[in-house]
Each structure stands twice: as structure tokens, then as C-alpha cells.
């Protein structure tokens, strides 16, 4: 990595460590737990079930496929890059996987992108479309908070989280839009 990246990563980690408090650590631990693979998987199944129940079988299956393939993509990138996580004692969580990209940030951005695409295409119902901006804001804010929790807990470098958000949003948007396009039919 370049010196600018290393400087940014070190500066963000130092700032997070310097501003830790017990109650914020507790909150961030809850946020990171809710935003883990199980939490994202449950939300994905709920989204697919809503689409399926509305008769949008293709959207339901596409949602499941996009998220599963995205999870594979995230793991593939982790093993290709093999970046070490921030050191202990700055790291408050015990992890044995690689750091780049942040899986929490990538998967939460991916599910946010999927929610937004499904809402924009009207595949989650009229009620969801009417409240689309609010729903988009909520899922985006949740993804941002999940990524910040990973920085706060020292689980990732800043560039891991930024890359996770970018890859997740890009994959979720492009893959779902492509899978729902008329050209795929």
C-alpha cells in the first residue's frame, strides 16, 4: 500500500482508539453483531420472501443469487489480497480472517443497494415505493454505521471499510439490475 493509504489507515485507527468510551464500545459491539453475516442473511431472506409473496419470483431468486455470489466475491478478494487486520490491543475483536475488504461494510452496502433497486423497480410493493426515500436512507445509514463500528472496534483499516462499501454498492446495484433486465430473460 502507498504511504498515503497507510497514513490514512493509521490516523483513523488512532483517532478511534483515542475516542473510545465504554458505552460507545457496547453500542458498536451491538451494531457490528447485528450487521454480521447472519444479520445480512436474515434480511436477504426477508427481502426475497417479500418479493416472492408479491409474485416477483425472478426478483426473489435474483436477490438471493446476488447476495450469495457477492459473499463469494468478498471472500475471494479477501484471500487474493490477504491483508492483515489492525494489531492488538487496538483491535477489540478476535478475528482470524483477512481484513480487505471489510465483509460487514461490503455485505451491508450490497443489501442496501439491493433494497434500493427493488424499491425503485417497484418490486417490494406500492407501500415500499411510497416510502422509498426513507427506506433508502435507513438502509444506507445502517450500512454506514456498521462500517464505522468496524473502524471503532479496530476490526478493519479505514481503506478496508471504504473498499467494502464501494464494492458492495457496485456489485449489489449492477448484479441485481442486470439479473432483472429484459436482456436476461
Place of cell 436477490: 63
Give the domain range for residue 53: 3-184
- Res. 54: pLDDT tops 90: no
Say if residue 154's pLDDT is above 80.
yes
**pLDDT tens by residue, 76-113:** 999 999 999 998 888 888 888 899 999 999 999 999 99
* Cα separations in angstroms, 154 against 82, 146, 167: 17, 13, 21
CATH value at residue 56 = 1.20.144
* Cα–Cα distance measured from residue 92 to residue 86, given in angstroms and rounded to the nearest whole number: 10
pLDDT score of 144: 95
The distance of Cα 161 from the centroid of its chain, to the nearest Å, equals 9
Instruction: State how many domains the chain has.
Output: 1
With pLDDT > 90 as the criterion, what percentage of the chain qualifies? Answer: 55
pLDDT given for residue 69 in this prediction: 93
Alpha helices, DSSP H, located in the chain: 3-18, 22-34, 37-53, 57-81, 103-120, 126-130, 132-152, 158-180
Q: Which pTM does this prediction carry?
A: 0.87
Amino acid at each position: 500500500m502507498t504511504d498515503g493509504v497507510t497514513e490514512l489507515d493509521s490516523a483513523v485507527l488512532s483517532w478511534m482508539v483515542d475516542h473510545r468510551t465504554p458505552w460507545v464500545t457496547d453500542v458498536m459491539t451491538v451494531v457490528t453483531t447485528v450487521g454480521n453475516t447472519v444479520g445480512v442473511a436474515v434480511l436477504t431472506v426477508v427481502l426475497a420472501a417479500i418479493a416472492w409473496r408479491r409474485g416477483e419470483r425472478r426478483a426473489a431468486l435474483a436477490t438471493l443469487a446476488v447476495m450469495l455470489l457477492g459473499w463469494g466475491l468478498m471472500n475471494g478478494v479477501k484471500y487474493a489480497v490477504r491483508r492483515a487486520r489492525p494489531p492488538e490491543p487496538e483491535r477489540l475483536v478476535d478475528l482470524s480472517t483477512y481484513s480487505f475488504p471489510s465483509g460487514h461494510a461490503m455485505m451491508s452496502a450490497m443489501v442496501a443497494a439491493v433494497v434500493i433497486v427493488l424499491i425503485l423497480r417497484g418490486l417490494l410493493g406500492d407501500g415500499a415505493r411510497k416510502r422509498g426515500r426513507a427506506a433508502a436512507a435507513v438502509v444506507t445509514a445502517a450500512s454506514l454505521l456498521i462500517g464505522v463500528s468496524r473502524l471503532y472496534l479496530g476490526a478493519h483499516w479505514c481503506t478496508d471499510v471504504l473498499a467494502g462499501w464501494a464494492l458492495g454498492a457496485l456489485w449489489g446495484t449492477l448484479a441485481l439490475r442486470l439479473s432483472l433486465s429484459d436482456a436476461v430473460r
